[in-house]
Amino acid sequence: MSLLQIGQPAPDFKLPASTGKSISLSQFAGKKVVLFFYPQDMTPTCTAEACEFRDGIGKFRRHGAVVLGISPDPVNRHLKFAEQYGLPYPLLADEELEACKLYDVWKLKKLYGREYMGVQRSTFLIDREGKLAREWRNVRIKGHVEAVLAAVKGLE
């Protein structure tokens, strides 16, 4: 697997979404895309992150950016999550880990001395030409959405 590089084309994928349709990255050609990977619906940190993107969606849209969330959860769980928290952007179900592996976010993690495979919380900004403009890995929530929005504005 090749490593992602800033300035290179972002890997395309097609996944089922909470919208009821499949979504591919290539369908957003000509738009900026904020792609955030998170471990699991309905968990405290993932909920906080999703709600921060929700609260900033108007600003992202004003600057021509589409927001997409991706986790390994199935579509029916995404639907419940989106409904419960009023999430106004698609959540993509990556049950086969296709996009997670393309973006190299499926990692060995440790929690309380236990090792397991899981999604490393990460965000990618893709420019209007479909190239990777920025990446944030192992994200901490505080200030993250503001940093992503600043990067979106910087692409204008």
Bridge partners of residue 15, in order along the sequence: 23
Candidate list 15, 33, 46, 57, residue with the active-site label? 46
**Do residues 11 and 43 touch, judged by C-beta distance below 8 A?**
no
CA distances from 16 to 2, 19, 26, 127 (A): 25, 8, 14, 23
51 is catalytic: no
CA 151 – CA 149 distance, rounded (Å): 5
CA distances from 124 to 4, 21, 48, 112 (A): 10, 22, 18, 28
Helix (H, G, I), strand (E, B) or coil at 147: helix
Catalytic residues: 46
